[in-house]
Amino acid sequence: EPAASTYQEQAVIYQGSQNFKRIALTYDDCYLVTMLHRLEDILEQHPDVRITLFPVGEALLNNQTKDSGVWQRFVEKGHEIGYHSFDHTNPEVISAEGVIADYDRWMDALHEVLDNEPVVRFARPPFGNTSASFLHMCAQRGLVPTMWSTGWGGPTESVVTYTVPKIQRGDIVLLHTRPEDMDTTANALPELA
């Protein structure tokens, strides 16, 4: 087993390639099924857009009970699901073995809500904490630790006016499934297309 310093040296992604005219839209937590429905509606108007959802395990299970096909629909339309912990506990306060157990519990929840074998490539720690225990789990489970280079949120008009023009190729955009992020997404996607 490698020393803890090896985990800290593992590459953490903050931005994608700037060689392509693309950005990555990512959504954390995903607690409210109503906001997932709103996101589905927005994405329906932009069929070429793909996103990565980083739901916590509790949200996977809770939203599945409210809409039994919600996660499967996202996957079927080509969107990805990445690990974001089971219950949004800061990985810094959990041992390396505890974070692995948390990922396995999250993965069990993902298996429960999807009809097919899920492919999980990305992991984002709660609170953006790339602790040694989190990096250890990523190394053990073959996941890419993924952060962000910019975030949206707040009044839609100011985001579209001031933030969207500053977006660069390869940016990883952090959002949450909150009403203001859905408003921003709906208004910003036409500007970015």
pLDDT exceeding 90 applies to what percent of the chain?
Answer: 78
Position 5 pLDDT exceeds 80: no
Position 133 pLDDT exceeds 90: yes
Q: CB–CB of 70/44 below 8 Å? A: no
Position 3 pLDDT exceeds 80: no
Give per-residue pLDDT as tens, 96-127: 999 999 999 999 999 999 988 889 999 999 99
Both ends of the chain: CA-CA distance in Å? 46
Q: CB–CB of 66/39 below 8 Å? A: no
Residue 33's CB is within 10 A of a number of other CB atoms, namely 17
SS3 at position 95: coil
| 9/102 Cα distance (integer angstroms) | 22
Q: What angle do CA 134, 135, 139 make, to 5 degrees?
A: 120
Give per-residue pLDDT as tens, 140-167: 999 999 999 999 887 888 888 888 899 9
pTM listed for this prediction: 0.93
| 23/33 Cα distance (integer angstroms) | 25
Give per-residue pLDDT as tens, 21-76: 899 999 999 999 999 999 999 999 999 999 999 999 999 999 999 999 999 999 99
